[in-house]
Amino acid sequence: MEHHRACHLCEAICGVVIEHDGDRLTGVRGDPDDPLSRGYLCPKATALVDLHHDPDRLKTPLRRTAGGDFEPVDWETALALTAERLAHARRQHGPRGVAFYVGNPTVHNLGALLGMQAFGAALKSHNRYSATSVDQLPKMLASLQMYGHQLLISVPDVDRCDLFIVFGANPLVSNGSLMTAPGMKRRLDAIRARGGRVVVFDPRRTETARVADEHHFVRPGTDALVLFAMVHTVFEEGLVRLGRFAHHVADLDTLRTLAREFAPERTEAVTGVSASVVRRLTRALADTGRAAVYGRMGVSVTDFGGLSNWLIEVLNVLTGHFDEPGGMMFSSPAADLAAVGTLLGQRGSFGRIRSRVRGAPGFSGELPAACLAEEIDTPGDGQVRALVTLAGNPVLSTPNGARLERALPSLEFMVSIDPYVNETTRHAHVILPPTFGVEREHYDLAFHGLAVRNTARWSDPIRPREASQRHDWEILSDLSARLAARGNPLRERALRAAASVLTPARIVDLALRAGPYRLTRAKVAAAPSGVDLGALVSVMPGRLQTRDGMIPLAPRCYVDDVPRLRAWWASAEARDPSQLVLIGRRGLRSNNSWGHNSVRLVKGPVGCTLRIHPDDAKARGLAQGDVAVIASRVGEVRAPVEVSDEVMRGVVSLPHGWGHHREGVRMRVAAAHAGVSANDLTDDAALDAMSGNAVLNGVPVTVTRAEGATASV
Ligand SMILES: Nc1nc2c(c(=O)[nH]1)N[C@H]1C(S)=C(S)[C@@H](COP(=O)(O)OP(=O)(O)OC[C@H]3O[C@@H](n4cnc5c(=O)[nH]c(N)nc54)[C@H](O)[C@@H]3O)O[C@H]1N2
Ligand SMILES: Nc1nc2c(c(=O)[nH]1)N[C@H]1C(S)=C(S)[C@@H](COP(=O)(O)OP(=O)(O)OC[C@H]3O[C@@H](n4cnc5c(=O)[nH]c(N)nc54)[C@H](O)[C@@H]3O)O[C@H]1N2
Ligand code: SF4
Ligand SMILES: [Mo]
């Protein structure tokens, strides 16, 4: 039998056809009729099958015993205990005392995405964290500052673009991020086939760089200087082309003044990108009708992620590639999360709250994830004493995860809503495992809104869940009702009744009806491969949400951050040239920290290796297969060495999401391919001070040879 649905493992949301014989999934292939993915599939899709049948995946709630082990308990016991302990912690320690960390899979999970809103409200925590601040926060901040809404996220119209300039993204491996565009190889090939060009700026000659027309090494963390140099060139060479936005932008003169000091001839020594490259590409950008500048993780999680993301938006606006076909456009989703946000008064906010210990800025009610450990291990009023994690693994995914790992056992109570006992959840007192993948219904509320083509697709579950299982949204709404009722049974009953009416399916239906195409859930569900709603269309200035309807080109927070960039620039010029810096790397068969329990995904060459340039290796007496000791301010790990000139001199690359050797982890396949955690090296003290985003790239490290050890790579 065949079951059509969306792959929920990454942002590409590929249409898949799952082959099954009732209870057993037997295979997965790309759905050729899906209007967005058109049959494309990556190797990770096999995890949909493998993890479905994974014997380590939890089906029953677990409770920690006095001896420190876990025992299975029934749902009523687990949920009642959780609600009681959370309410108790809140009473004892106040709204800051209970923290809530929300991980990445939530965005790929309709029920969790919706359920966490109500749960967050019921928990009333003033200590919220998510993977946003180790990822795309600076892009959302730029949207909020310039377009007035954190979810008005511009995406490259790759299918009509003739010059695609990429800063710090590797879509051939990541399959695209803040750019839902399955099959990027095909789409990039198409740009080149129509005579267009692809240009990549990356400290590593990545899989994407290899298929591009041009690749330029850029020193990690220096993109803001390259981008400022491009803005400088736009002004200096008279390349401003505002087109129909000429009367919709503000602060053009402020921007011009700010960019003055960043002549490409001055930035090249530190960035490694020559002035001639900057000038030539800036001219090409301004002179190409359909062009886009796009940036992702590589520019986001650096010391100047905020400035870099702002400057990328600015460049597109300045050169006439904002909201124009082939440029950076906006999707028009059938169910519009941004519109719902506006309706609820949630356009986003910045700097309204500050973290207790170091005063780091909050974004949309969240504090930087890099602050979580110190909020737990620093005594005082407002100290975090209880924690809820939902679909997150911050021990492996946030900077200085080892510090968090040391802090978690001190919590009075911790609950994890998660299908695995992993590096983070093993510290929980209660683990509540939800349904997974094909077991639940699905609609990509977030990713249709980031897609390079407007489509809509509803996925039914393969069968109703077992009576012994709970969906994420059921777990969340149950806990919400118990917490919000505060012991009043009548109230609790009323809240449960409301939740049983306003199910995720019902909410999607309402949002579709209210959306621009006036669809219904039934209409979308009638097309199991999805509904095609056409290419992206221009929507601005109509959808701008800024108060005055203008696009400010120089918002205050960025202007105020320029002196910090200037100071850093001066110090970088004086830098010791032998100092290595660490960057990350994603693998095609790896999915953040939680795909490694699939046998088919971990087989083959070792994933967790340190890549180092031949000259840097030689200077340290390192050869292929040696084990290197990599040390940073916060920690030290050992990894096998791969000597390769694909990384630029002075840069080493280690993937994140590994390090499954930790005691108590119940993921047998992953533990047998443990690797080490890059986030035992990244530094929780190093934030993009302006935005509060984590710094995961450009981390200073030393690398030495581990005596007597070799490894097979
Ligand atoms: N050094 C370094 N660190 C990084 C990055 C990097 O590039 N370099 N990347 C960062 C990025 S971009 C991200 S998004 C973060 C991710 O950071 P996190 O979201 O904290 O971590 P994940 O590895 O995605 O772990 C997801 C967790 O969700 C669970 N899970 C999976 N599916 C479901 C589900 O349907 N429901 C529930 N309840 N749980 C589920 C998994 O078992 C796992 O425990 O990591 C960041 N960390
Ligand atoms: N296979 C696979 N796919 C994934 C994931 C996964 O873990 N595995 N994770 C998913 C998630 S959560 C996300 S957010 C996306 C991320 O999607 P992408 O951002 O496309 O993926 P990355 O591989 O992190 O790409 C970042 C690139 O930036 C480069 N880089 C590092 N530092 C710098 C710098 O300072 N400047 C510049 N210009 N470049 C730099 C790195 O070498 C790398 O090639 O991928 C998603 N897709
Ligand atoms: S690219 Fe791979 S993991 Fe991502 S949605 Fe498509 S099949 Fe799934
Ligand atoms: Mo991410």
Residue nearest to atom 2 of ligand 2 (CA): 174
pLDDT of residue 709: 65
pLDDT at 713 over 70: no
Average pLDDT over residues 335-342: 90
* Number of domains observed in the structure of the chain: 4
User: 316 and 195 in one domain?
Assistant: yes
Point out the ligand 1 atom lying closest to the alpha carbon of residue 390.
38
Tell me what pLDDT residue 577 has.
80
Q: Whose CA is nearest to atom 6 of ligand 3?
A: 14
CATH code, domain with 23: 3.30.200.210
Strand partners, 20: 25
Whether residues 519 and 548 fall in one domain:
no
Instruction: Choose which residue among 107, 174, 208, 594 to substitute to test ligand 2 binding: the one with the highest number of ligand atoms within 8 A of its C-beta.
Output: 174
Ligand 3 pocket test, pick from 5, 7, 52 with the greatest ligand atom count within 8 Å of Cβ, gives: 7
The pLDDT of residue 689 is: 97
Report which ligand 1 atom has the smallest distance to the Cα of 593.
23
Are 152 and 93 part of one and the same domain?
Answer: no
343 domain residue, yes or no: no
Summarised one tens digit per residue, pLDDT across range 466-477 is: 999 999 999 999
Instruction: Give percent of the chain above pLDDT 70.
Output: 99
**Substitution candidate for ligand 1 out of 594, 630, 660 with most atoms within 8 A of CB:** 594
The domain in which residue 109 lies consists of 62-125+368-444+458-529
Closest Cα to atom 4 of ligand 3: 10
| pLDDT higher than 90, residue 423 | yes
Strands 197-201 and 214-216: parallel
Residue 712 has pLDDT above 70, yes or no: no
| Cα 14 to middle of ligand 3, angstroms | 5
* CATH number, domain with residue 173: 3.40.228.10
Dist CA 244 CA 324 (whole Å): 10
Structural domain includes residue 600: yes
Domain presence at residue 217: yes
Claim to verify: residue 141 and residue 121 sit in the same structural domain: no
Q: Report CA-CA distances (Å) from 446 to 7, 73, 114, 437, 590.
A: 14, 34, 11, 17, 22
In this structure, the answer to whether residues 46 and 67 fall within a common structural domain is: no
- Asked if residue 711 has pLDDT above 80, the reply is no
**Does one domain contain both 159 and 202?**
yes
Which residue's CA is the nearest one to ligand 3's atom 2?
A: 42
pLDDT tens for 145-187 read 999 999 999 999 999 999 999 999 999 999 999 999 999 999 9
Starting from the CA of residue 37, give the closest ligand.
3
User: How does pLDDT run across 227-266, given as a tens digit for each residue?
Assistant: 999 999 999 999 999 999 999 999 999 999 999 999 999 9
pLDDT in tens, 23-46: 899 999 999 999 999 999 999 999
**Could you read off the pLDDT of 49-98 as tens digits, one per residue?**
999 999 999 999 999 999 989 999 999 999 999 999 999 999 999 999 99
| Residue 678 confidence (pLDDT) | 98
Q: Say if residue 440 is in the same domain as residue 523.
A: yes
Q: What is the mean pLDDT of the chain?
A: 96
Strand ranges, E, within 157-240: 163-167, 197-201, 214-216
217's CB contacts (< 8 A; 6+ apart) are 202, 203, 205, 272, 273, 648
Mutational test site, ligand 1, from 441, 465, 592, max ligand atoms within 8 Å of CB: 592
Q: How confident is the model at residue 604 (pLDDT cuts 50, 70, 90)?
A: confident
Domain membership of residue 534 (yes or no) is no
Output the CA–CA distances (angstroms, integers) from residue 543 to 148, 248, 257, 518, in the order listed: 9, 12, 29, 18
Mean pLDDT of all residues in 672-679: 96
169 lines ligand 2 (CB under 6 A): yes
What is the model's pLDDT at position 23?
83
Using CA atoms, how far residue 90 sits from 16, 356, 364, in Å, is 43, 17, 22
Mean pLDDT of 377-391: 98
Considering the domain architecture, whether residues 553 and 589 belong to the same structural domain is answered as: no
42 lines ligand 3 (CB under 6 A): yes
Atom 4 of ligand 2, residue of closest alpha carbon: 174
Averaged pLDDT for residues 323-333: 98
User: Among residues of the chain, what percentage have pLDDT more than 90?
Assistant: 94
**Does residue 12 share a domain with residue 79?**
no
- Ligand 2, residue 201: give the atom nearest the CA: 38
- Confirm or reject: Cβ of 3 under 6 Å from ligand 2: no
Residue 679 lies in a domain: yes
CA of 10 to the centre of ligand 3 (A): 5
Q: pLDDT grade, residue 681 (50/70/90)?
A: very high
pLDDT at 576: 85
Rounded CA-CA distance 503/378 in Å is: 40
Residues 391 and 525 in one domain: yes
Residue 31 burial class via C-beta count within 10 angstroms: exposed 0-12, middle 13-18, buried 19 and up: buried
Higher pLDDT, 415 or 486: 415
Residue 564 domain flag: no
| Residue 78's CATH number | 3.40.50.740
Specify whether 183 is located in the same domain as 280: yes
Residues 521 and 546 in one domain: no
pLDDT of residue 707: 85
Q: What is the CATH number of the domain that holds 631?
A: 2.40.40.20
Q: How far does the centroid of ligand 2 lie from the alpha carbon of residue 90, in Å?
A: 38
Pairing relationship of beta strands 249-250 and 70-72 according to DSSP bridges: unpaired
Residue 503 has pLDDT above 90, yes or no: yes
Structure-token pair, residue 423: 């590096």
Q: Give Dmax over CA atoms of the chain in angstroms.
A: 72
Confidence of residue 426 (pLDDT cuts 50, 70, 90): very high
583 lines ligand 2 (CB under 6 A): yes
* Residues whose CB falls within 8 Å of the CB of residue 274, separated by 6 or more in sequence, listed in order: 264, 268
Q: Which residue has the higher pLDDT, 600 or 297?
A: 297
Q: State the pTM of this model.
A: 0.98
Residues with CB under 6 A from ligand 1: 103-105, 109, 112, 131, 134-135, 297, 390-394, 397, 417-420, 422, 434, 436, 472, 584, 592-594, 656-657, 678-679, 682, 696
Gap between the Cα atoms of 678 and 396, Å rounded: 8
